[in-house]
């Protein structure tokens, strides 16, 4: 399919909107009330530090809602105002945050059902309004909604659209897009739908396997088995790894994306030499600023002496998981939670260790002085971070302060 031509015609349709409805002021109050926090603002104003009792909270200097998410949520609120009586759907979660999605449900926004990873559009009717989320939707979904006569409100972040433009450029120049991402993540599904020939690599290890193959050090059957489900239909590693452009899911670990880009460039240089490199490798620049800022702030935060790191964000939020990986890589005890309610009852927490199921930990907060680092993913409102801090402080105040042996004996 000529995805560029389809997008062009969609953008000219009267049933398509990607800029909002000019109602920003009308919805500002509701957004502020639902998502902003005076406490968080005061911590920011105080150099990102809060000291209370035995606890010192250190906030990352960039965390929480990125502008792409803020924009998507605001457009969703505007959409409700603009279409007060129409049925409004979201093709999935608007962003990966349970509290934001709960607010939208309260506004009678419906969520398209998903069964084993497949969206069920059967209930969507002509004239319904469908909001596409910040991480985008596949070109096939857009086509279906357009043909069904729906009004499409597209909140796809411009950074994500930029990646789509990159893979379309690869397609036009007969390059294979190597996409650094999670193969089942909605953003990567959307990006690959705009690509021509593509291969999704999860991490540096998979990228290395591909590069080994390019240099003649791989077995074809093993390769095909390993990447089944992560390639475009009919992908042939012998034919399709000759001209490569790299693209990324915008929320992957920036350092890893860059390393993967360099690895492919080095590999193709070795294979084809500097005179021909431009025919075999296309450089890229699609790392989102917000992801980069949050990851950089996390790297600074974990340089501080911390007893505990609390990472807040949806469990299916890729950028939140990467923040937790940074804490773990520094050997800092960390918990990933998606809501304040995960803390308690008593001194317990229900959290999600990296790559594992939810688990309850008790006791949670140790005794004595505590330095707690806090960050949150790009889809987490300040109001949720405030809720977590309130619970941590309450819990710390309830637990006894460790008394030194000298103090206990009066020595
Ligand atoms: S993390 Fe980046 S790409 Fe994703 S919505 Fe935010 S600004 Fe856009």
Q: Is residue 225 domain-resident?
A: yes
Question: Which band of pLDDT confidence, cut at 50, 70 and 90, is reported for residue 92?
Answer: confident
Q: What pLDDT was estimated at residue 200?
A: 98
Tell me the C-alpha distance between 7 and 9, whole Å: 5
Ligand 1 mean position, distance from CA 161 (Å): 10
> Does 313 map to a domain?
yes
pLDDT score of 95 = 76
Q: Is residue 288 in contact with ligand 1, taking CB distance under 6 Å?
A: yes
* Cα–Cα dist 158/29, whole Å: 25
Structural domains of the chain, count: 3
Rounded CA Rg of the chain: 24
- For residues 324-355, one letter each, b for 16 or more C-beta atoms within 10 angstroms of the residue's C-beta and e for the rest, the string is bbbbbeeebebbbbbbbebbeeebbbbbbeee
* 134 close to ligand 1 (CB < 6 Angstrom): yes
DSSP string, 197-233: SEEEE-SHHHHHHHHHHHTT-S-HHHHHHHTTTSB-T
The pLDDT value recorded for residue 401 is 54
Q: Is the CB of 193 under 6 A from ligand 1?
A: no
Within-domain flag for 49: yes
Tokens of 297: 């702030």
pLDDT of amino acid 99: 83
Mutate to test the pocket of ligand 1, among 378, 379, 380, 381 (most ligand atoms within 8 A of CB): 378
Q: Both 385 and 307 in a single domain? A: yes
Probe target for ligand 1 pocket from 62, 63, 69, with the most ligand atoms within 8 Å of CB: 69
Q: In this structure, which long-range contacts are made by residues 35-39, counting pairs with CB atoms below 8 Å and at least 24 apart in sequence? A: 35/65, 35/73, 35/100, 35/381, 35/382, 35/383, 36/381, 36/382, 36/383, 37/381, 37/382, 37/383, 37/385, 37/386, 39/386, 39/389, 39/390
Q: Indicate whether residue 197 lines ligand 1 (CB < 6 A).
A: no
- 113 and 44 share one domain: no
Which whole number is the average pLDDT over 264-283? 96
**β partners of residue 8:** none
In a domain, 381, yes or no: yes
Give the C-alpha distances (Å, rounded to integers) separating 235 from 177, 179, 204, 297. 12, 14, 21, 39
Percent of the chain with pLDDT over 90: 84
Which residue has a Cα nearest atom 8 of ligand 1? 68
Residue 101: its pLDDT value, please?
87
Structural domain contains residue 363 = yes
Contact 386/40 with Cβ under 8 angstroms? yes
pLDDT, position 404: 43
Encode pLDDT of 109-135 as tens digits.
Answer: 999 998 887 899 999 999 999 999 999
Last residue of a domain, one of 235, 270, 287: 287
pTM for the structure as a whole: 0.88
Q: Are 231 and 201 in contact (CB under 8 A)?
A: no
**Same structural domain, 206 and 241:** yes
Out of 98-112, 298-312, 351-365, pick the least confident.
Answer: 98-112
Q: Tell me the best of 160, 164, 294 to mutate to test the pocket of ligand 1, counting ligand atoms within 8 Å of each CB and taking the most.
A: 160
Q: Are 391 and 318 within one domain? A: yes
Angle at CA 137, nearest 5°, toward 135 and 143? 160
What HEC string does 56-85 produce?
A: EEEECCCCCCCHHHHHHHHHHHHHHHHCCC
pLDDT tens-digit map of 175-222: 999 999 999 999 999 999 999 999 999 999 999 999 999 999 999 999
Ligand 1 atom at shortest distance from the alpha carbon of 159: 3
- Shared domain for 199 and 217, answered yes or no, is yes
Q: Measuring CA to CA, how many Å separate 271 from each of 243, 262, 279?
A: 11, 14, 12
Task: Select from 96, 133, 291, 316 the residue to mutate for testing ligand 1; criterion: most ligand atoms less than 8 Å from CB.
Answer: 291
Question: Per-residue confidence at 400, pLDDT binned at 50, 70, 90?
Answer: low
Catalytic residue among 70, 168, 187, 206: 187
Last residue of a domain, one of 131, 157, 183: 157
pLDDT of residue 406: 41
* Residue 245's CATH number: 3.40.1010.20
The domain that holds 143 is classified in CATH as 3.40.50.11270
Is the C-beta atom of 377 inside 6 A of ligand 1? no
CB of 378 within 6 A of ligand 1: the answer is yes
Residues 224 and 205 placed together within one structural domain of the fold: yes
Average pLDDT of span 3-8: 94
Please, which pLDDT band fits residue 93 given cuts at 50, 70 and 90?
Answer: confident
**Is the residue at 13 inside a domain?**
no
pLDDT of residue 344: 92
- Residue 234, classified by CB atoms within 10 Å of its CB into exposed (0-12), middle (13-18) or buried (19+), is exposed
Count CB neighbours of 56 within 10 A.
18
Query: Which domain covers residue 41, as residue numbers?
Result: 36-65+290-398
How far apart CA 135 and CA 251 sit, in angstroms, is 10
pLDDT single digits (tens) 330-340: 999 999 999 99
Report which ligand 1 atom has the smallest distance to the Cα of 158. 8
Same domain, 277 and 298: no
Q: Are 253 and 325 in contact (CB under 8 A)?
A: yes
Query: Does the pLDDT value for residue 402 go beyond 70?
Result: no
For residue 291, the CA-to-ligand 1 centroid distance in Å is: 7
261 and 320 co-located in one domain: no
User: Residue 90: what pLDDT?
Assistant: 94
Query: Is residue 194 within 6 Å of ligand 1 at its C-beta?
Result: no
Instruction: Identify the CA nearest to 288 among candidates 299, 296, 277.
Output: 296
Encode pLDDT of 361-387 as tens digits.
999 999 999 999 999 998 899 999 999
pLDDT, mean over the chain: 93
Q: What contacts 66, CB < 8 A, 6 or more positions away?
A: 288, 290, 291, 294, 378
Q: Is residue 217 part of a domain?
A: yes
Distance 65 CA to ligand 1 centre (A): 9
Statement to judge: residues 164 and 282 lie in one domain = yes
In a domain, 373, yes or no: yes
Same domain? For 314 and 382 the reply is: yes
Active-site annotation holds for 187: yes
Of 265, 287, 309, the last residue of a domain is 287
Is the pLDDT at 410 greater than 60, yes or no? Answer: no
Provide φ and ψ at 8, rounded to 5°: -60, -45
Residue 163 and residue 283 in one domain: yes
pLDDT at position 389 is 98
Percent of the chain exceeding pLDDT 70 equals 97
Q: Cα-Cα-Cα-Cα dihedral of 223, 226, 231, 235, to 10°?
A: 30
The predicted model gives 41-70 an average pLDDT of 96
294 shares its domain with 376: yes
Token couple for 397: 């105040």
More confident residue, 298 or 408: 298
Nearest to 352 by CA among 360, 341, 340, 364: 360
The protein residue whose alpha carbon is closest to atom 6 in ligand 1 is 68
Closest residue CA from atom 5 of ligand 1: 68
């Amino acid at each position: 399919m000529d995805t560029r031509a389809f997008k062009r015609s969609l953008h000219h349709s009267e049933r398509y909107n990607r800029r909002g409805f000019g109602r920003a002021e009308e919805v500002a109050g509701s957004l502020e009330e639902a998502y902003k926090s005076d406490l968080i603002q005061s911590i920011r104003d105080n150099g990102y530090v809060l000291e209370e009792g035995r606890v010192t909270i250190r906030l990352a200097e960039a965390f929480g809602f990125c502008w792409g998410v803020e924009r998507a949520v605001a457009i969703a609120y505007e959409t409700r105002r603009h279409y007060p009586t129409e049925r409004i759907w979201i093709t999935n979660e608007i962003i990966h945050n349970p509290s934001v999605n709960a607010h939208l449900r309260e506004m009678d926004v419906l969520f398209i059902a998903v069964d084993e990873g497949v969206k069920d559009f059967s209930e969507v009717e002509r004239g319904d309004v469908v909001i596409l989320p910040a991480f985008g939707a596949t070109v096939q979904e857009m086509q279906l909604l357009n043909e069904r006569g729906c009004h499409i409100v597209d909140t796809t972040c411009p950074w994500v659209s930029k990646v789509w433009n990159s893979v379309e450029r690869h397609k036009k120049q007969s390059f294979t897009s190597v996409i650094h991402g999670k193969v089942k993540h909605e953003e990567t599904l959307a990006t690959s739908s705009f690509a021509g020939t593509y291969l999704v690599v999860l991490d540096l290890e998979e990228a290395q396997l591909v590069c080994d193959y390019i240099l003649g050090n791989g077995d074809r059957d093993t390769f095909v088995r390993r990447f089944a489900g992560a390639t475009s239909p009919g992908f042939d590693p012998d034919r399709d790894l000759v001209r490569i452009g790299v693209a990324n899911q915008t929320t992957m670990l920036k350092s890893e994306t860059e390393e993967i880009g360099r690895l492919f460039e080095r590999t193709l240089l070795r294979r084809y030499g500097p005179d021909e490199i431009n025919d075999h490798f296309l450089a890229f620049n699609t790392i989102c600023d917000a992801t980069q800022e949050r990851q950089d702030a996390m790297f600074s935060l974990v340089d501080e002496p911390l007893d505990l790191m609390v990472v807040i964000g949806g469990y299916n939020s890729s950028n939140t998981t990467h923040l937790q990986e940074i804490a773990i890589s520094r050997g800092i005890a960390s918990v990933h939670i998606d809501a304040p309610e995960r803390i308690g009852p008593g001194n317990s927490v229900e959290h999600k260790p990296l790559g594992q199921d939810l688990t309850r930990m008790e006791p949670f907060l140790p005794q004595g002085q505590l330095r707690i680092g806090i960050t949150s993913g790009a889809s987490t409102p300040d109001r949720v971070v405030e809720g977590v801090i309130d619970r941590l402080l309450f819990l710390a105040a309830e637990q006894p302060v460790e008394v030194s042996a000298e103090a206990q004996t009066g020595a």
